[in-house]
Amino acid sequence: MATRSLTWFDRLDKQNRYRMSLLAGAAVQVLILLVVASQVFDLRVVEDYRTTVGNLETIHLRRELIGDPILLALVVVGMALPFTSSKLRREPVLLVALQITIAGLVFFVVWPLGQVFVEGFKAAQGAAGFSLLQFEKLLESPMVARASINTLLIGSTSATLATMIGTVVAYTLTLSDIPWKRLLRVLVVLPLVSPPFAVSHAFIMLFGRRGLITYDLLRITGWSIYGADGIVLVQLISDIPLVVLILMAVFSSINRDLEDAAGDLGGRPLHVLRTVTFPLVTPAILSAWLLSFISSIADFGNPMLIGGGFQVLATQAYIQLIELFDLQLGAALAMILLVPALVAFILQHWITSRRSYISVTGGARTGFIRVLPTGLKVPLFGMTFVLAAFTILVYGSIFVGALVRVWGFDFTPSTENLVGLVTAIPQLRNSLIVSIGSGVVGGIIGLIMASLVARERFPGRGILDFSGTLMYAIPGTVVGIGYIIAFNAAPYFWTGTFFIIIIAYAYRRLPVGLRTAVAAQKQLDPSLEEASLDLGASRIRTFTQITFPLLSRAFFAGVIYIFIRSMTDLSSAVFLNAGRTQLYTVRMFRVMVTGNPSEAAAFAALLVVIILISLGLLSRITGKSFVDLFRV
């Protein structure tokens, strides 16, 4: 066994060691604060006024200190909080890790979101004081009232339909004896890999007024996919898989003994279903409804493409901010959008954190297959089959569309649209830089937070855990607007830089990284780390040599998950990218709005291929099957 030579630190006596670590701790504190302060404040030379005498122009300059003292104060308070625990004060490494995590959350989550609220209550750009002007404007504008109602209406319709269909399909795919179950499972879940608005494009190609099926095959006239129906339809394609995944997990873990006992006690099958099976899955169904509600109201790309002028809050906020450059009104709209999302998320959190009805005990007989009567089996199979057929149609049309000259008019095979993708290389490169960057950064933050949340007991652990997962509920539009407000003025000027897009995605997708890492941490036997600590290894050494190697798979899995989510994001990207950092999805979106359908299909096809490759990689790393990959 290799031995390490004693360092100077090991040779110190106990008293001095304590002093040294105290000193080091203080130095780290000062360093963190200096880093934050140097970002938050800036001394810059600005032009004051110009005077012209004859042909001599004098520019008067002045130095100005600009910055966000409130942000600095928040960071300092956040960093001071861990000191209140005497346990943490004895553990300098843990303390510093926690402080950095808190500082990051304050800087990149709390601050930008807080700015949305501050800006929404301003009368105008740079105006001081509190004002309800924006909300008065909103109340006066009938478009906004309509957009709010539309958003809630679309959200609840999509969520309800997705939950109903998804629950039945999940039941069919887990507990019934229909054929081709394995294949159907993959097909039903597959739409999760594509950027949602690609589904819109495929639907227009297939079912539009000039669509392949509606026009060329069925010759339907007077039909229109554009509008609320179209939005709900395409949202179902991406929301149903979400519901199916959640409920498949629940259905396959139902303990058969409970149902058998009810049956033995004389319950009729329907009675058993109503009184035993249904209560077992109710929390999961509610939770699935809330999650698809959140994803539906946050949706930006689909309403933009297939809405046909049907306004929702996400599109209104985009128009106010990007097209009409009214930052305050955009912020006020973002705020309205944030409220239902947060309410839904807190409800969902509350439901899932209550005691679960599903007792996974050793030896329980779970996931058994019920032999269903044909009268029931045929409609169930039919429904699942139709859903799977939609997947094939959507992806089929994207790939076929990419390989013909002009979809709808000239179906001769051609590679010109694929060759045309060459012009998108800069955007593709930008997207890869951003997505890999945010994957790695998000993975590291997730790992650090997970090791704090899953392993250590300290005051405020629950809050930390909650704030880590909170970002899941925040619509991308709100994140984008928050970052623009917080970091697009002196002293930052960060919008449009890779740095800020990477940070935004890393924090936005933190719940994914966090959940992956927490799950892996929980499977790790704590005695391994305890043994290392007891043998005298420091916390850092234990983490780098014991914990991290055991968690590296989970880490890379988290990186790839965040990578995929970042590659397909549009709603934050439209706000954060600019000029040199234009992202692939934004270019793709523009092509869908102005280009020919095949050109757009080629863009979507390339993105789908990239994501399938990363999923293949993920499957190799984790050893999970395709369907299980999505269970995060």
Partner 1 sequence: MNRRWLFPALVVLGAVVLGACAAPTPIVQTVEVERVVTQQVELLVTPTPIGGELTLYACLFDPDKLAVLFETFRQLHGVDVTCLDMSSGEALERIRAESENPQGDVLFGTTNLSHVNLAADGLLEPYQGAGWNLLPDGAIKDPDANWTGFYYGVIGFACSPERLEELGAACPTSWDDLLDPIYAGEIVIASPAASGTSYTVLSGLVQLLGSEDAAFEWYHQFDANVAQYTESGSAPGRLAAQGEFAVGIAFAHDIQVQQDNGLPVEISFPSEGTAFEIGGISIIRGARNLAAAQAWVDYVFTPAFQRYHNDVAHRIPVVPGVDLAEGTFGLEDVKLIEGYDPTEWAAQRDALVARWQEEIGSGR
The Cα–Cα gap between 161 and 168 comes to 11
List 593, 613, 616, 631, residue binding partner 1 (CB under 8 A) = 593
Report yes or no: 583 and 430 within 8 Å, Cβ to Cβ: yes
> Residue 65: in which H helix or E strand, if any?
strand 56-67
DSSP code, position 473: G
Q: Is 273 in the site for partner 1 (CB under 8 A)?
A: no
Q: Is 70 in the site for partner 1 (CB under 8 A)?
A: yes
Q: Is 81 in the site for partner 1 (CB under 8 A)?
A: yes
The site that binds partner 1 (CB under 8 A) totals a number of residues, namely 84
List 72, 346, 433, 444, residue binding partner 1 (CB under 8 A) = 72
List 1, 2, 6, 56, residue binding partner 1 (CB under 8 A) = 56
List 168, 304, 445, 479, residue binding partner 1 (CB under 8 A) = 304
List 17, 19, 62, 274, residue binding partner 1 (CB under 8 A) = 62
What are the beta bridge partners of residue 50?
Answer: 59
Q: Is 92 in the site for partner 1 (CB under 8 A)?
A: no
What are the beta bridge partners of residue 410?
Answer: 406
List 15, 86, 361, 374, residue binding partner 1 (CB under 8 A) = 86
Q: Is 46 in the site for partner 1 (CB under 8 A)?
A: yes
List 19, 30, 64, 139, residue binding partner 1 (CB under 8 A) = 64
Interface of this chain with partner 1, residues 13 to 42, rule: CB under 8 A: 41
The two tokens of residue 494 are 């960060």
List 6, 45, 265, 360, residue binding partner 1 (CB under 8 A) = 45
Q: How far is CA 511 from the centre of its chain?
A: 7
Q: Is 578 in the site for partner 1 (CB under 8 A)?
A: yes
Nearest to 442 by CA among 504, 370, 378, 368: 504
Q: Is 530 in the site for partner 1 (CB under 8 A)?
A: no
Report yes or no: 297 and 154 within 8 Å, Cβ to Cβ: yes
Q: Is 12 in the site for partner 1 (CB under 8 A)?
A: no
List 24, 34, 35, 66, residue binding partner 1 (CB under 8 A) = 66
Residue 489, helix vs strand vs coil:
coil
Q: Is 463 in the site for partner 1 (CB under 8 A)?
A: no
Interface of this chain with partner 1, residues 402 to 461, rule: CB under 8 A: 405-406, 408-410, 423
Report yes or no: 125 and 328 within 8 Å, Cβ to Cβ: yes
Q: Roughly how many angstroms between the first and final C-alpha of the chain, as a whole number?
A: 39
Question: Is the alpha carbon torsion for 536, 537, 542, 545 positive or negative?
Answer: negative
The two tokens of residue 392 are 């094939």
Least separation, in Å, of the C-beta of 410 and partner 1? 7
Q: Is 594 in the site for partner 1 (CB under 8 A)?
A: yes
Neighbour-count burial for 202-216, b at 16+ CB within 10 Å, e otherwise:
bbbbbbbeebbebbe
Q: Which is nearer to partner 1, 87 or 268 (CB)?
A: 87
The Cα–Cα gap between 133 and 485 comes to 18
Interface of this chain with partner 1, residues 243 to 272, rule: CB under 8 A: none
Q: Is 141 in the site for partner 1 (CB under 8 A)?
A: yes
Interface of this chain with partner 1, residues 333 to 392, rule: CB under 8 A: none
Tell me the HSE value of 347 on the side-chain side, using a 13 A CA sphere.
17
> Residue 300: in which H helix or E strand, if any?
none
Q: Which is nearer to partner 1, 201 or 565 (CB)?
A: 201
* Those residues with Cβ within 8 angstroms of residue 81's Cβ, 6 or more apart along the chain or in another chain: 102, 460
Least separation, in Å, of the C-beta of 403 and partner 1? 15
Q: Which is nearer to partner 1, 84 or 544 (CB)?
A: 84
Q: Which is nearer to partner 1, 54 or 375 (CB)?
A: 54
Least separation, in Å, of the C-beta of 245 and partner 1? 32
List 36, 79, 243, 583, residue binding partner 1 (CB under 8 A) = 79
β-bridge pairing 410-413 and 404-406: antiparallel
Interface of this chain with partner 1, residues 143 to 172, rule: CB under 8 A: 143, 146
* Those residues with Cβ within 8 angstroms of residue 612's Cβ, 6 or more apart along the chain or in another chain: 193
Which alpha helices (DSSP H) does 44-132 contain, by range? 69-80, 86-89, 92-105, 111-120
List 30, 61, 149, 609, residue binding partner 1 (CB under 8 A) = 61
